[in-house]
Homo-oligomer: A and B are copies of this chain.
């Protein structure tokens, strides 16, 4: 039986196994779920062992990792001379809050209208599990694997844990490969096979303003500095109302997309009003009008505030001048920018625009480098061809406005091209209530990966 036939025959079992994995609330940011995160790791390790992978192990990460959730590693390296693929995915998930907005509970996976609803369904348990099921199907079809395979699955992606980055940087020999496959992105439109060739980087920061030793009665307003007023002034200076970053030197570093890529973006099937309405859910699309929408999303830096801690947020009124205000805020970095340089310029600018009478401190919580891969890279071309075959439509090349730190790390430390073969959809509610994964995409995703691996198995490894 071919690998694809095996995958098709086992669709229901694959789905049931995914549901079992989704029932584990492996929320990496929440210390109360520490045991659940570990249970997800051990469940995956057992599954990798079961399908025939070797050297299965949990790798405890050290260094600056704030949470210490283990990496799951496995390999099968007996296809001499054939290329080696490194599969990357993550088994941790975002917190499910606000719980009352979920139609069915986040950790009770539920099928509805051709989708599977659960926290982690698409980000990233469902997509990561496709890799395992593709490899299981290859084992079943061939009795062995036609190429060498490594898995490296992390449990700190949603908390920006640096354990995996340290491991990649310090153990390059253990991860030697010809290319990596990462399925943590989405298709440009339903049914349209999509390869993501560029990612923005990020600096995630905290900006803490202190205006006094302790909170004050607001009767002193007019003479007492106010940490929240000062923070609002700082935040409003970083990007102007049109969306243009005001930090000197930042925009100079940005690598503009070439004419061919801009052309290909123009030909993508895209309805701006539909995007605004169903994806953004906003009144308007905003941003720096000197750039097209795709440039703003994929090829320009930005600045977003995520929340502000401190002060009084209860019911009613409390007339307080808060002594401390802390914003969580991040910048996305365009290709060619670096996290180190951007954070330095960002911090300096915040100090410069800080109003008199208050002190401000800027902390870097985590960072990710931007990345970009050429459309004519041979692994990219093979992946595109396999996806075109499975989906019956020409594969398109896009970028993502988000960040996947590991992609930058794999490029930097292992010189691996990352094939970002994602099967999510734009309306999958990542990081939000009612996260879902399209059932057809789960199954065709497995077939796409299968075909891609079979198509490159006969190539010579470069290593």
User: Which chain B residues lie closer than 8 Å to A66 at the CB level?
Assistant: 316
Tell which of B29, B301, B315, B320 touches A431, judged by Cβ atoms closer than 8 Å. B320
Contact B222 A314 (CB under 8 A): no
Complex: A319 Cα to B403 Cα, angstroms: 10
User: Which chain B residues lie closer than 8 Å to A375 at the CB level?
Assistant: none
Q: Which of A17-25, A136-144, A172-180, A232-240 contacts B (4 or more CB under 8 A)?
A: A232-240
User: Which chain B residues lie closer than 8 Å to A356 at the CB level?
Assistant: 241, 284, 286
For window 397-451 of A, CB contacts with B under 8 Å fall at 400-403, 429-433
Q: Which of A54-62, A302-310, A335-343 contacts B (4 or more CB under 8 A)?
A: A302-310
Contact B221 A303 (CB under 8 A): yes
Contact B282 A219 (CB under 8 A): no
Tell which of B29, B94, B218, B225 touches A315, judged by Cβ atoms closer than 8 Å. B29
User: Which chain B residues lie closer than 8 Å to A432 at the CB level?
Assistant: 214-217
Contact A306 B286 (CB under 8 A): no
Contact A287 B223 (CB under 8 A): yes
Complex: A231 Cα to B233 Cα, angstroms: 11
Contact B306 A319 (CB under 8 A): yes
Complex: A151 Cα to B222 Cα, angstroms: 34
**Contacts A204-B319, A282-B212, A357-B285; is A328 near B313 (CB within 8 Å)?**
yes
For window 281-330 of A, CB contacts with B under 8 Å fall at 281-288, 293, 296-297, 300-323, 326-328, 330
Complex: A295 Cα to B365 Cα, angstroms: 42
Contact A317 B328 (CB under 8 A): yes
Tell which of B218, B301, B403 touches A330, judged by Cβ atoms closer than 8 Å. B218
Q: Does A34 contact B (CB under 8 A)?
A: no
Q: Does A279 contact B (CB under 8 A)?
A: yes
Q: Does A226 contact B (CB under 8 A)?
A: yes
Contact A159 B316 (CB under 8 A): yes
Contact B316 A160 (CB under 8 A): yes
Contact B219 A200 (CB under 8 A): yes
Contact B308 A328 (CB under 8 A): no
Q: Does A127 contact B (CB under 8 A)?
A: no
Q: Does A243 contact B (CB under 8 A)?
A: yes
Contact A296 B403 (CB under 8 A): no
For window 135-184 of A, CB contacts with B under 8 Å fall at 159-160
Complex: A219 Cα to B368 Cα, angstroms: 13
Contact A322 B307 (CB under 8 A): yes
CB 8 Å contact bits of A190-226 with B (1 = contact, 0 = none) = 0000000000101010000001111111111111111
Closest 10 CB pairs of A and B: A307-B311, A219-B402, A213-B281, A228-B305, A284-B357, A232-B235, A222-B302, A236-B236, A219-B401, A221-B302
Complex: A368 Cα to B111 Cα, angstroms: 55
Complex: A314 Cα to B321 Cα, angstroms: 22
Complex: A402 Cα to B217 Cα, angstroms: 8
Contact A222 B283 (CB under 8 A): no
Complex: A241 Cα to B215 Cα, angstroms: 20
Contact A233 B236 (CB under 8 A): yes
Contact A357 B313 (CB under 8 A): no
Q: Does A355 contact B (CB under 8 A)?
A: yes
**Distance from A133 Cβ to chain B, minimum over Cβ atoms (Å):** 26
Complex: A431 Cα to B400 Cα, angstroms: 48
Contact A304 B226 (CB under 8 A): yes
Tell which of B232, B236, B296, B330 touches A223, judged by Cβ atoms closer than 8 Å. B296
**Contacts A222-B300, A296-B223, A402-B217; is A306 near B320 (CB within 8 Å)?**
yes
Contact B430 A217 (CB under 8 A): yes
Q: Does A366 contact B (CB under 8 A)?
A: yes
Q: Does A99 contact B (CB under 8 A)?
A: no
Contact A232 B229 (CB under 8 A): no
**Distance from A246 Cβ to chain B, minimum over Cβ atoms (Å):** 12
Q: Does A280 contact B (CB under 8 A)?
A: yes
Contact B357 A286 (CB under 8 A): yes
Contact B316 A29 (CB under 8 A): yes
Complex: A310 Cα to B38 Cα, angstroms: 31
User: Which chain B residues lie closer than 8 Å to A202 at the CB level?
Assistant: 319
Complex: A430 Cα to B304 Cα, angstroms: 36
